[in-house]
């Protein structure tokens, strides 16, 4: 029986990134994906003729350009197109736009508050400074502060030096960023509700916290750390939907000789003498591997695939306590024609950006109140984009794909499982909000894919449907992600590694966890990692 | 009250259309467009502004030989008024505002609490409690926050007030023939109101060229009539509208610095090592330790006392005639000690001049053996030149006509 060099459980983008790097170093790598397609939360599927959806993730920024280049993803079809700003509709029939042009952006804010318009400069500067601090950490394994290995000490010194290079003021700001609520943070810069709401959304996306919960300021940073072709903080569409990222990864992996098996659900990791030997698939087939890497989240991996007796109890307890609460849903809509928003001029570039309806932080917080009560939000927060305004490949001319990311949706409804009726109610809360701003919207709908945390978990294996494989609060970042002492992609089981978003630096279609895990594995195998580029300099 | 709110929201809706015009037209746009044979525009703080209209070299010589007219409307302007305006401005800006008499203008700068320069600009004092602050960058939140506790109002009026600079040896004659009676009484840094149309124009004897010159401010409604009046008055005095390229040459000769060209302003510096104290960019003369508390005072005085100032801004004269723009400055041809931020061959001084920021002690106590490395691109090839640089005082030119009283006619 074949004994693979490496088995990767899960063909999400991080599993594929990891597999690509390992295969390229000469190892014989097998990816086992439970679904009939690869991609995990980065997929494009056609569910109705003539339309392709980005089923889960829908916009791209975090994916590291170093990885795109190393793995030759452009050659395998990856293109990322930056999109225009966007707008928040206000309840009085106006809107607040975000424009790419610096001065247009300022003049737009000045319509609401001349003071806030100018305050934006300082805000943008402060956020940029913080991103520059964190960006270089993305592509480095977090140091283990309890270890005395030279490398950990070196990394700790690196961190410490970065910190001590800061002025007292900057250090204070950094600490605030890591601990504050996004609402309090924005209050330090802005006075206008809709302007605060405009920025607050980045602090709550994918997070089971409200804008007034401490820790959400950091979540905002996480969403600003990406780039499109060097334009830091910019977001774009992957041409063909987010599945284009994982399709390119799969093609790159196969071109370098890697093997993917879809429809192969791993039921158990085989452990003998504290060392992983391979996996058992649903149906009983055993697949042997010298090393096993799990792309599934930390809960699925260690609470479902590994027998508890193989794990130290403190580790097990911490995995159980890892916060991975579902908070979001998704409604993908195929439209027979372009929706109209009378508040927005026909020639507004905002149609090619992200659109929102929640015009105050308070409304966001109320939406979160519903989540705490175990209900989907009656007045949900929606991040809505129409990628087909810039991507001609996802629908035929004149027709459109609209992606709605929705908060909040609890993992359970009032303590019980979601039902189909609940799902329809959830969808209705979204459609009716859009229809309030877009007359005739319902008539344009050709098809809809509605995904509550139930559907997201069923389809991607993301526990509770948590989009980041675990919340991005500071207690679950760096050397605490996912579990203190196990933040370097290794696990208590020999030969079993983690490479999903549960690990540092966290979720989003970023690829960094998969890459960093590959570097650690290659280190353990004492193999070179020259084909893994260092992070681009931040100058 | 309700009616007011309605009009406000109506204009707010009407303003939506701004996204279709990324570069705002200046109040003088009809006149500039008609003259802009070059059609060479740039973005000045969100306004469409000309690099040159007809010929930047001839425009420069208009400054030095006749009179050149330059649109300064895009400059950011704040109206600062109230019984505490003087005390407030004395607190936030460096120079002593109690010494600035009504009818006078001074060049000043302002810092954050850590003593880093946020911007420089000119402060116009119209009366005991009415001021205008003109600058390059925007500071409304900072000004408003600093105003807490003072009886003062701060309003941005950039879009409401049009401005023109009239500079050159015949500029006084232009104003006189345009009918501004009594303008000869203005001494350097004086300002006064003169009737224009149904309203008035503020004229100050100020400028950015080191030459005889004036600046004029009017409400935007009277902008075009003011322009026409000056052109008419200047017919016999060689008046010539100009773009920024010509002005930039003149200001380098005058040794004047430009925010975010010769130094990075505090609010826009992402890299903290780019921040500068006034003493590090040649603005130490503005500091008046005797005047009492002002923003950044303690940090600035501490840095002086502890000798922790890291940089110095100097004028350089460089051998040869190739401008050294953005060249690296070396000590002994080896050690990198700074950067040239602006450089030209000066037609008036007939010298190759530059403004540079150096790391102390270079440029401060160590001034010999400095060199600049010039990369001159000629027909797709760099000529790498290592040229000797000498620290010289600014301004690089000194024209008596700038301050002569009464002002000369030509
Ligand atoms: C609705 C939604 C919207 C999002 N929007 C964005 C966005 O716009 N931009 C962005 O950057 N990020 C977004 N995210 C987050 C981002 O998509 C995820 O964080 C990221 O895709 C996770 O990638 P991963 O490779 O770490 O894990 P996953 O994508 O979760 O991959 C894990 C893979 O493992 C497989 N698997 C699990 N268990 C087994 C098993 N037992 N056997 C075999 N295979 C198994 C799964 O099927 C899956 O393919 C979104 C996520 C969701 C859910």
Per-residue pLDDT tens digits for B295-324: 999 999 999 999 999 999 999 999 999 999
Taking a C-beta distance cutoff of 8 angstroms, is the pair A463, A500 a contact? no
Q: Which residues have CB under 6 Å of ligand 1?
A: A 9-15, 32-35, 40-42, 56-59, 62, 265-266, 295-296, 300, 328, 330, 405, 456, 460-462, 467-469, 500-501, 507-509
In sequence order, the 6+-apart residues with CB closer than 8 A to the CB of A392 are: none
Looking at domain A3-44+60-79+240-322+471-526, its CATH superfamily turns out to be FAD/NAD(P)-binding domain (3.50.50.60)
Of B16, B22, B144, the CB nearest to A103: B22
Q: Which of A85, A107, A126, A353 to probe the B interface (max B CBs under 10 A)?
A: A107
Measured by CA distance, the residue closest to atom 15 of ligand 1 is A508
Give, for ligand 1, the residue of A14, A42, A262, A285 to mutate: max count of ligand atoms closer than 8 Å to Cβ: A42
User: Above 80 in pLDDT, residue B4?
Assistant: no
Q: What burial class does residue B319 get, using C-beta atoms within 10 Å of its C-beta: 0-12 exposed, 13-18 middle, 19+ buried? A: middle
Q: Are strands A266-272 and A275-281 parallel, antiparallel or unpaired?
A: antiparallel
**pTM value?**
0.95
φ, ψ (nearest 5 deg) of residue B203: -120, 130
Buried b (16+ CB within 10 A) or exposed e, B68-94: bbbbbbbbbbbbbbbebbbbbbbbbbb
CB contact under 8 A, B270 and A125: yes
Mutate to test the interface with B, among A106, A121, A539 (most CBs of B within 10 A): A121
At the second CATH level, the architecture of B76-156 is 2-Layer Sandwich (3.30)
C-beta atoms of A111 and B144 within 8 A: no
CA neighbor of B391 nearest in space, from B362, B359, B360: B362
pLDDT category, B2, cuts 50, 70, 90?
very low
Which pLDDT score is estimated for B6?
Answer: 55
CB contact under 8 Å between A129 and B140, yes or no, is no
d(CA A61, CA A202) in angstroms, rounded, equals: 13
Whether residue B215 is annotated as binding a ligand: the answer is yes
Query: What whole-number distance in Å separates Cα of residue B197 and Cα of residue A405?
Result: 59
From B247, B251, B266, B217, select the one nearest B109 (Cα to Cα). Answer: B266
**Bridge-partner residues for A29, per DSSP?**
A6
Whether residue A128 and residue B15 make contact (CB cut-off 8 A), yes or no, is: no
B383, containing H or E segment: strand B382-392
Whether A99 sits inside 8 A of B139 (CB atoms) is no
Beta strands (DSSP E) in B309-350 are 311-318, 328-331, 335-346
Contact B22 A121 (CB under 8 A): no
Distance A454 CA to ligand 1 centre (A): 14
d(CA A267, CA A252): 27
| CA nearest neighbour of A235 among A203, A202, A190, A208 | A202
Cis peptide before A505 (omega within 30 of 0): yes
What integer is the mean pLDDT of B346-371?
Answer: 97
Q: Which of B275, B280, B299, B281 is nearest to B289 (CA)?
A: B299
| Per-residue pLDDT tens digits for B187-222 | 999 999 999 999 999 999 999 999 999 999 999 999
Return the CATH architecture of domain B272-392: Beta Barrel (2.40)
Residue A443, both tokens: 């008539």
pLDDT tens-place values along chain A, 539 residues long: 899 999 999 999 999 999 999 999 999 999 999 999 999 999 999 999 999 999 999 999 999 999 999 999 999 999 999 998 899 999 999 999 999 999 999 999 999 999 999 999 999 999 998 888 888 889 999 888 888 888 888 888 888 888 777 878 788 888 888 899 999 999 999 999 999 999 999 999 999 999 999 999 999 999 988 888 888 888 999 999 999 999 999 999 999 999 999 999 999 999 999 999 999 999 999 999 999 999 999 999 999 999 999 999 999 999 999 999 999 999 999 999 999 999 999 999 999 999 999 999 999 999 999 999 999 999 999 999 999 999 999 999 999 999 999 999 999 999 999 999 999 999 999 999 999 999 999 999 999 999 999 999 999 999 999 999 999 988 899 899 999 999 999 999 999 999 999 999 999 999 999 999 999 999 999 999 999 999 998 88
d(CA B82, CA B405): 34
pLDDT tens readout for residues B145-165: 999 999 999 999 999 999 999
Among A468, A462, A252, A203, which residue's Cα sits nearest to residue A358? A203
Of A108, A114, A128, the CB nearest to B140: A114
Instruction: Report how far ligand 1's centroid is from the alpha carbon of A250 (Å).
Output: 15
Per-residue HEC secondary structure of A269-282 comes to: EEEECCEEEEEEEC
Q: B18: which 2 tokens?
A: 């701004």
Nearest-CB residue to A128 (from B20, B270, B272)? B270
Give CA–CA dist B370/A4, Å, rounded.
65
Contact A143, A152 (CB under 8 A): yes
Ligand 1 nearest atom to the CA of residue A462, by list position: 30
Per-domain residue ranges for chain A? 3-44+60-79+240-322+471-526
Tell me the DSSP string of B54-118: S-HHHHHHHHHHSEEEEE-TTSEEEEEESTTHHHHHHHHBSS-GGGS-TTEEEEEEEE-TTS-EE
Closest ligand 1 atom, CA of A42? 21
Residue of A nearest to B21 (CA): A104
Name every chain A residue with its beta carbon within 8 A of the beta carbon of B16.
94-95, 111, 345
Alpha carbon A168 to its chain's center: 32
Euclidean distance between CA atoms B109 and B295, whole angstroms: 11
Ligand 1 atom with the smallest distance to the CA of A461 is: 37
Do the Cβ atoms of B292 and B100 come closer than 8 Å? no
Cα(A174) to ligand 1 centroid in Å equals 29
How would you classify the pairing of strands A496-498 and A286-294?
Answer: parallel
Q: How far apart, in Å, are the Cα atoms of B252 and each of B158, B258, B286, B356, B394?
A: 25, 9, 20, 11, 9
The Cα–Cα gap between A369 and A374 comes to 9
Give the chain B residue whose CA is nearest to the CA of A98: B19
> Chain A residues contacting B, CB < 8 Å?
92-95, 97, 99, 101-104, 106-108, 111-112, 114-119, 121-122, 125, 128-129, 132, 166-167, 169-170, 189, 345, 347-349
Write the CB contacts of A455 (distance below 8 Å, at least 6 apart in sequence).
Answer: A423, A465
How many other C-beta atoms can be found within 10 angstroms of the C-beta atom of residue B111?
27
Contact call for A129 and B16, based on CB within 8 A: no
Atom number of ligand 1 nearest to Cα A513:
26
**Contact between residue B77 and residue B134 where contact means Cβ atoms under 8 Å apart:** yes
Best mutation site among A57, A86, A244 for ligand 1 pocket (most ligand atoms within 8 Å of CB): A57
Q: What are the beta bridge partners of residue A448?
A: A333
What is the nearest CA distance from A34 to chain B, expressed in angstroms?
A: 46
Q: State the Cα torsion A119-A125-A129-A132 to the nearest 10°.
A: 130
Give the number of beta-carbon pairs within 8 Å between A and B: 69
| pLDDT for res A474 | 87
For chain B, the domains span 2-75+160-253, 76-156, 272-392
Per-residue pLDDT of B234-286, as tens digits, reads 999 999 999 999 999 999 999 999 999 999 999 999 998 999 999 999 999 99
Question: Selecting from 3.90.1150.10, 2.10.109.10, 3.30.1360.120, 3.30.360.10, what CATH number does the domain B2-75+160-253 have?
Answer: 3.30.1360.120
Nearest chain B CA: its distance from A118 CA (Å): 6
Specify the residue with its C-alpha closest to ligand 1, atom 1. A56
Answer for the pair A473, A215: CB distance below 8 angstroms, yes or no: yes
Q: Are the beta carbons of B13 and A94 separated by less than 8 Å?
A: yes
The b-or-e profile of A113-132 (16+ CB within 10 A means b, else e) is bbbbbbbbbbbbebbebbbb
The residue whose C-alpha atom lies closest to atom 21 belonging to ligand 1 is: A41
**Residue B279 tokens, joined:** 């003493």
Give the residue from A434, A425, A336 showing the smallest Cα distance to A388.
Answer: A336
Helix axis angle, A13-24 to A512-524, nearest 10°: 40
- The residues that bridge with B107 in the sheet, in sequence order, are B122
**Residue B170 to residue A320: CA distance in whole angstroms:** 83
Residue to substitute from A92, A112, A122, A166, interface B, most B β-carbons within 10 A: A122
- Closest atom of ligand 1 to CA, residue A305: 41
**CB B150, CB B86: distance < 8 Å:** no
């Amino acid at each position: 029986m074949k004994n693979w060099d490496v088995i990767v459980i899960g063909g999400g983008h991080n599993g594929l990134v990891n597999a690509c790097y390992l295969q390229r170093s000469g190892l014989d790598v097998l990816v086992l994906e439970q679904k009939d397609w690869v991609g995990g939360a980065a997929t494009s599927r056609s569910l109705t003729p003539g339309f392709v959806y980005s089923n889960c993730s829908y916009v791209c920024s975090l994916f590291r350009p170093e990885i795109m280049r190393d793995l030759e993803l452009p050659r395998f079809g990856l293109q990322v197109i930056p999109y225009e700003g966007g707008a928040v509709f206000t309840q009085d029939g106006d809107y607040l736009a975000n424009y790419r042009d610096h001065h247009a952006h300022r003049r737009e804010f000045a319509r609401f508050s001349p003071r806030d318009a100018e305050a934006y400069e300082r805000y943008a500067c402060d956020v940029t400074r913080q991103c520059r601090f964190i960006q270089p950490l993305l592509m480095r394994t977090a140091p283990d502060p309890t270890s005395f290995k030279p490398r950990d000490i070196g990394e700790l010194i690196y961190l410490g030096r970065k910190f001590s290079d800061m002025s007292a003021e900057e250090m204070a700001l950094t600490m605030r960023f890591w601990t504050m609520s996004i609402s309090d943070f924005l209050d330090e810069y802005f006075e206008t509700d809709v302007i605060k709401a405009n920025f607050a959304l980045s602090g709550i996306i994918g997070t089971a916290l409200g804008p007034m919960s401490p820790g959400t300021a950091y979540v905002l940073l996480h969403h600003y750390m990406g780039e499109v072709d060097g334009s830091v903080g910019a977001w774009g569409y992957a041409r063909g939907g987010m599945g284009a990222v994982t399709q390119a990864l799969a093609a790159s992996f196969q071109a370098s000789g890697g093997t993917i098996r879809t429809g192969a659900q791993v039921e158990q990791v085989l452990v003998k003498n504290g060392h992983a030997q391979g996996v058992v698939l649903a149906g009983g087939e055993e697949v042997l591997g010298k090393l096993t890497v799990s792309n599934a989240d930390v809960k699925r991996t260690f609470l479902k695939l590994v027998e508890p007796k193989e794990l130290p109890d403190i580790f097990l307890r911490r995995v159980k306590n890892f916060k991975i609460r579902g908070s979001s849903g998704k409604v993908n809509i195929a439209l027979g024609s372009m929706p109209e928003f009378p508040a927005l001029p026909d020639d507004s570039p905002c149609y090619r950006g992200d659109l929102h309806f929640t015009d105050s932080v308070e409304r966001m917080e109320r939406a979160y109140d519903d989540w705490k009560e175990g209900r989907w939000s009656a007045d949900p927060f929606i991040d809505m984009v129409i990628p087909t305004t810039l991507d001609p490949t996802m629908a035929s001319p004149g027709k459109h794909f609209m992606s709605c990311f929705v908060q909040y949706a609890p993992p359970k409804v009032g303590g019980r499982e979601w039902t189909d009726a609940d799902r329809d109610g959830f969808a209705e809360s979204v459609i009716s909000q859009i229809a309030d701003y877009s007359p005739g919207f319902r008539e344009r709908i050709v098809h809809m894919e509605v995904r509550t945390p139930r559907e997201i978990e069923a389809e991607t294996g993301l526990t509770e449907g948590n989009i980041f494989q675990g919340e991005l609060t500071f207690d679950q970042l760096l050397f605490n992600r996912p579990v203190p002492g196990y933040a370097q992609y290794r696990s208590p089981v020999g030969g079993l590694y983690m490479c999903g978003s549960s690990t540092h630096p966290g979720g989003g279609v970023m690829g960094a966890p998969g890459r960093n895990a590959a570097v650690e594995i290659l280190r353990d195998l004492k193999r070179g990692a020259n084909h893994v580029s260092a992070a681009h300099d931040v100058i | 009250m309700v009616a007011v709110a309605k009009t406000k929201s109506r204009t707010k809706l009407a303003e939506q259309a701004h996204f279709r015009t990324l570069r705002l037209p200046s109040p003088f746009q009809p006149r500039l467009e008609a003259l802009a044979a070059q059609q060479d525009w740039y973005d000045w703080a969100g306004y469409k502004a000309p690099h040159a209209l007809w010929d930047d070299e001839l425009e420069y010589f208009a400054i030095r030989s006749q009179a050149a007219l330059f649109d300064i409307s895009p400059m950011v302007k704040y109206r600062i008024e109230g019984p505490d305006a003087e005390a407030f401005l004395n607190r936030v800006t460096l120079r002593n505002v109690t010494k600035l008499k009504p009818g006078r203008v001074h060049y000043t700068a302002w810092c954050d609490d850590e003593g880093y320069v946020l911007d420089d600009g000119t402060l116009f004092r119209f009366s005991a409690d009415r001021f205008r602050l003109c600058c390059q960058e925007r500071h409304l939140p900072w000004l408003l926050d600093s105003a807490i506790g003072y009886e003062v109002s701060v309003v941005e009026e950039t879009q409401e007030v049009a401005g023109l600079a009239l500079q050159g040896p015949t500029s006084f004659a232009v104003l006189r023939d345009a009918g501004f009676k009594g303008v000869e009484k203005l001494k350097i840094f004086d300002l006064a109101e003169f009737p224009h149309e149904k309203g008035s124009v503020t004229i100050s004897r100020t400028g950015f060229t080191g030459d005889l010159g004036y600046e004029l401010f009017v409400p935007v409604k009277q902008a075009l009539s003011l322009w026409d009046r000056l052109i008419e008055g200047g017919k016999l005095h060689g008046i010539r509208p100009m773009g920024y390229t010509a002005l930039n040459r003149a200001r380098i000769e005058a040794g004047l610095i430009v925010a975010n060209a010769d130094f990075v302003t505090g609010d826009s510096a992402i890299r903290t090592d780019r921040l500068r104290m006034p003493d590090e960019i040649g603005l130490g003369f503005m500091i008046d330790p005797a005047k009492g508390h002002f923003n950044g005072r303690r940090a600035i005085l501490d840095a002086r006392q502890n000798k922790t100032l890291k940089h110095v801004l100097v004028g350089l004269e460089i051998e040869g005639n190739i401008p050294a723009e953005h060249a690296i400055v070396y000590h002994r041809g080896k050690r990198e000690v700074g950067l040239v931020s602006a450089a030209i061959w000066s037609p008036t001084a007939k010298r190759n001049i530059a403004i540079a920021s150096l790391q102390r002690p270079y440029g401060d106590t160590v001034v010999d053996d400095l060199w600049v490395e010039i990369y001159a691109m000629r027909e797709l090839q760099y000529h790498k030149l290592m040229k000797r640089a000498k620290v010289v005082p600014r301004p690089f030119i000194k024209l008596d006509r700038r301050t002569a009283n009464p002002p000369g006619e030509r």
